[in-house]
Amino acid sequence: MSEEAKKSGANTMWGGRFSSSPSALMEAINASIDFDKRLASEDIQGSIAHSAMLAKRGIIAESDRDAIQQGLQRVLGEIESGSFTFSTALEDIHMNVESRLREIAGDPAARLHTARSRNDQVAVDVRLWVRNAHDRADEQITNLIKVLLDKAEQHAGTVMPGFTHLQGAQPVTFGHHLMAYVEMFGRDRGRFRDSRVRLNESPLGAGALAGTSFPIDRHMTAKALGFDGPTRNSLDSVSDRDSLLEFMSAAAICAVHLSRLAEEIVIWMSAPFGFVRLPDRWTTGSSMMPQKRNPDAAELVRGKTGRIFGSLMSLLTVMKGLPLAYAKDTQEDKEPLFDAADTLEIVLAAMTGMVQDLEPVPGRMAAVAGAGYSTATDLADWLVRSLNIPFRDAHHITGRIVSEAEKRGTSLEDLALDVMQAVEPKIHKGIYEVLSVENSVRSRTSFGGTSPVRVTEQIAWWRERV
Q: Which residues are marked as active site?
A: 165, 286
Q: What is the dihedral of CA 42, 48, 51, 53, to 10 degrees?
A: -90
β-pairing verdict for 359-360 and 159-164: unpaired
Question: Alpha-carbon distance 57 to 217, whole Å?
Answer: 7
CB 431 within 8 A of CB 420: yes
Question: Alpha-carbon distance 436 to 457, whole Å?
Answer: 23
Question: Alpha-carbon distance 220 to 373, whole Å?
Answer: 68
CB 311 within 8 A of CB 337: yes
Specify the DSSP element, H or E, that contains 276: strand 276-277
Beta bridge mates, 164:
167
What is the full DSSP assignment across 9-49?
A: HHHHHH-GGGTT-HHHHHHHHH--HHHHGGGHHHHHHHHHH
Could you tell me which residues come within 8 angstroms of residue 375 by beta carbon, excluding any fewer than 6 positions away?
Answer: 170, 171, 412, 413, 434, 435, 436, 437, 440
Question: Alpha-carbon distance 296 to 380, whole Å?
Answer: 42
Please give the single-letter amino acid code of residue 101.
L
| 142: Cα separation from own chain's centroid | 12
- The angle subtended at Cα 455 by Cα 452 and Cα 457, nearest 5°, is 115
293-299: Cβ within 8 A, 24+ apart: 293/269, 295/265, 295/266, 295/269, 297/350, 297/353, 297/354, 298/262, 298/263, 298/265, 298/266, 298/269, 298/354, 299/262, 299/266
CB 165 within 8 A of CB 219: no
- CA distances to 2, 151, 196 from 236, rounded to whole Å, are 52, 46, 18
Specify the DSSP element, H or E, that contains 65: helix 62-81
